[in-house]
């Protein structure tokens, strides 16, 4: 029954791979923003905005620059192939979360970004170079704008002859 539902009449969800790519390009940055808000990290939210803005502008500039070259033609014959905007968007959320909060937050978003990249290539919208470039842009701009969140953790401990307090800081 599911295949018939997927192929029925076209539309947004007629192709689940394409729908996933369309969704994760928006959902990943929103998830990264949600993490920042959940942590009351307003600097992180600002850094995500800066990163997303730089990724968007640089992606569009590169698309315009490459559009009249062989790299600007998609496998399906249409324009604006290089770099992949969908993958750049999905990787923006992943790169921000990974750089700001660590791999535990970044890894799940990188997994959905990788699926987005795969779906864009599999459906003939991009080549591998396009999706790799899109993700590299996002990662590069995150390295420019995002700083690791400072944290201070304390942990009391007891030993047989006393105890103390362990302090760990990262910045």
What pLDDT does residue 99 have? Answer: 95
Q: Does any domain span residue 47?
A: yes
Does residue 3 lie in a domain region? Answer: no
Question: pLDDT at position 14, please?
Answer: 52
Model confidence pLDDT, tens digit, residues 6-57: 433 444 445 555 667 788 999 999 999 999 999 999 999 999 999 999 999 9
How many domains does the chain contain in total?
Answer: 1
Give residue 116's domain range.
Answer: 13-170
**Angle (CA) 83 86 91, round 5°:** 90
Which two three-digit tokens encode residue 55?
């990724």
Using an 8 Å Cβ cutoff, are 150 and 100 in contact?
Answer: no
Start-to-end Cα distance in the chain: 52
In a domain, 2, yes or no: no
Q: What's the pTM? A: 0.76
d(CA 157, CA 137): 44
**113 in any annotated domain:** yes
User: Could you tell me which residue, 70 or 96, shows the higher pLDDT?
Assistant: 96
- Parallel/antiparallel/unpaired status of strands 162-170 and 151-159: antiparallel
Asked, for residue 132, whether it belongs to a domain, the answer is yes
- Asked if residue 4 is part of any domain, the answer here is no
pLDDT in tens, 75-110: 888 988 899 999 999 999 999 999 999 999 999 999
Q: Is residue 6 part of a domain?
A: no
């Amino acid at each position: 029954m599911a295949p018939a539902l997927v192929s029925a009449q076209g539309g947004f969800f007629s192709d689940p791979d394409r729908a996933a790519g369309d969704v994760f390009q928006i959902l990943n940055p929103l998830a990264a923003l949600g993490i920042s808000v959940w942590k009351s990290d307003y600097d992180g939210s600002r850094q995500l905005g800066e990163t997303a803005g730089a990724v968007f502008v640089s992606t569009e500039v590169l698309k315009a620059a490459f559009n009249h070259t062989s790299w600007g033609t998609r496998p399906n014959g249409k324009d604006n192939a290089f770099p992949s905007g969908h993958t750049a968007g999905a990787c923006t959320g992943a790169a921000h979360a990974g750089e700001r909060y660590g791999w535990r937050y970044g890894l799940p978003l990188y997994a959905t970004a990788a699926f987005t990249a795969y779906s864009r290539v599999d459906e003939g919208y991009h080549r591998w170079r396009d999706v790799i470039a899109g993700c590299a842009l996002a990662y590069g701009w995150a390295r420019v704008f995002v700083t690791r969140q400072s944290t201070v953790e304390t942990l009391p401990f007891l030993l047989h002859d006393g105890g103390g307090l362990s302090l760990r800081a990262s910045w």
